[in-house]
Every structure is written in C-alpha cells, then in structure tokens.
Amino acid sequence: MSGGTEGKGKIYRVALLTLSDKGARGEREDVSGEVLREMILPLPAEVVFYEILPDELAEIEKVLCRLADSGAADLILTTGGTGVSPRDVTPDATLRVLDRELPGMAEAMRAASLKKTPHAMISRAVCGLRKATLIINLPGSPRGVRENLAVLLPALPHALDKIGGDAGECGKE
C-alpha cells in the first residue's frame, strides 16, 4: 500500500458468497467462508451479506448482479467453483456479469499459488468490476482462500478507493 490516505476511516462493505452444492444442502461446514470473514476484517471491513449457494450459474449471476447493482457491497468475495469440474461455474457466472475484468489480480493469485502447487494452473478464477463493486473469485479450500486472498489484501484498500471514486494520484511518494 502506498503512503496515501486510502482506507483511512473507511469501512468497506463486503459480501461473502460460498458456492458449494454440499454446503448449500447443509452437508458441509463452510470453513472457507469463515476464513474470508477473518481475513478481511482488518481492512477494515464489515460483512454486509453472506450466503451459501449451490453451483448454479443463473443463481450465482442473479446474486452477484443484485449485490453490485444495488450498491450494497464495495467488494464481493466468492469461494468455490473455480476449477474444472463440471459443476465449477463461478468464473462463468462472474464473467457474464462483469463490466470490466481486472486480470492482474487473478494472475497474481495464480502466480503465487504456482509456487506452492502445480494445480494452481487449472484455476479459472476471475476478478473484475460490475458498476462500483469489485468481484473476486477465490478457491474453495480454506488453504486456497488464505494463500490467494493474502496476495490481494495489500492492494485492496487502494483498489476499492479508486473504484469508489478517489481522485488522488497513484504512486506518489
């Protein structure tokens, strides 16, 4: 983070979505969602929405659109459904609703993850904007959430402030 004023006094509104058929049916505890909650609080952030949804393309799209279009959340973090299994549709739903992609964020996550596992190269996670809301897809495992979100956390306050209209200059130190 730069030495600017980003994030000072601002509490970011965050929506958390866990995408899991088993989780939505109550057959699996949502550990990844709890990891997300713990990791974002120091931003500072407040969780304004949390839901576990099944891996259903239309349902995921609908919730992402509702949250972004209403202005209810500055940031939507999803966990789950970013791989290549037939039911992994989170990136597909996200791409359908984005106005603009932020490929650098997804690239940074994959690059960091590749240092730990070759399986990172099959991640289809995407990041981008719908209106003034940043949407980030994260893996479904607690370890994957920790490792990937840790890469993005240092840049999130600046990104969220810029998305929210901060007209200050970038990189001046």
Is 173 domain-assigned? no
- Residue-wise pLDDT for 11-32, tens only, equals 999 999 999 999 999 999 999 9
Is 146 domain-assigned? yes
Is 96 domain-assigned? yes
The pLDDT of residue 45 is 97
Is 1 domain-assigned? no
What's the 3-state SS for the chain? CCCCCCCCCCCEEEEEEEECHHHHCCCCCCHHHHHHHHHHCCCCEEEEEEEEECCCHHHHHHHHHHHHHCCCCCEEEEECCCCCCCCCCHHHHHHHHCCEECHHHHHHHHHHHHCCCHHHHHCCCCEEEECCEEEEEECCCHHHHHHHHHHHHHHHHHHHHHHCCCCCCCCCC
Number of domains comprising the chain: 1
- pTM for the model: 0.92
Is 100 domain-assigned? yes
The pLDDT of residue 167 is 72
